Structure 1
Amino acid sequence: MAFKNDDDKIAYWKENLALLFKLLVVWFVVSFGAGILFVDALDQIQFFGFKLGFWFAQQGSIYVFVILIFVYVARMKTLDKKYGVDEE
Structure 2
Amino acid sequence: MEQQKQRMKDYWRKNIKTVLILLSIWFVVSFGFGILLAEPLNSIKLGGFKLGFWFAQQGSIFTFVILIFVYVYRMNQLDEEFDVNEK
TM-score tier by shorter-chain length is over 0.9
Alignment gaps of 5+ in structure 1: none
Q: Give 1:77 deviation, angstroms.
A: 0.1
Q: Give 1:86 deviation, angstroms.
A: 2.9
- Superposed CA deviations along residues 5-40 of structure 1, whole A, max 9, x for unmatched, are 111000000000000000000000000000000001
Return the alpha-carbon distance in structure 2 between the equivalents of residues 53 and 37 of structure 1: 9
Return the alpha-carbon distance in structure 1 between the equivalents of residues 36 and 70 of structure 2: 25
Indicate the percent of aligned positions where both proteins have the same amino acid: 55
The alignment covers a number of residue pairs equal to: 84
Return the alpha-carbon distance in structure 2 between the equivalents of residues 23 and 86 of structure 1: 24
1:77–1:86 Cα contact (<8 Å) kept: no
Return the alpha-carbon distance in structure 1 between the equivalents of residues 43 and 64 of structure 2: 24
Alignment gaps of 5+ in structure 2: none
Counterpart in the other structure of 1:21:
20
Counterpart in the other structure of 2:84:
85
Return the alpha-carbon distance in structure 2 between the equivalents of residues 82 and 46 of structure 1: 43
- Superposed CA deviations along residues 30-82 of structure 1, whole A, max 9, x for unmatched, are 00000000001100100000000000000011000000000000000000000
User: What TM-score, normalized by structure 2, do the two folds share?
Assistant: 0.93
User: What TM-score, normalized by structure 1, do the two folds share?
Assistant: 0.92
Dislocated runs of 4+, deviation >2 Å: none
RMSD: 1.1
Higher relative contact order structure (alpha carbons within 8 Å, sequence separation ≥ 6)? 1
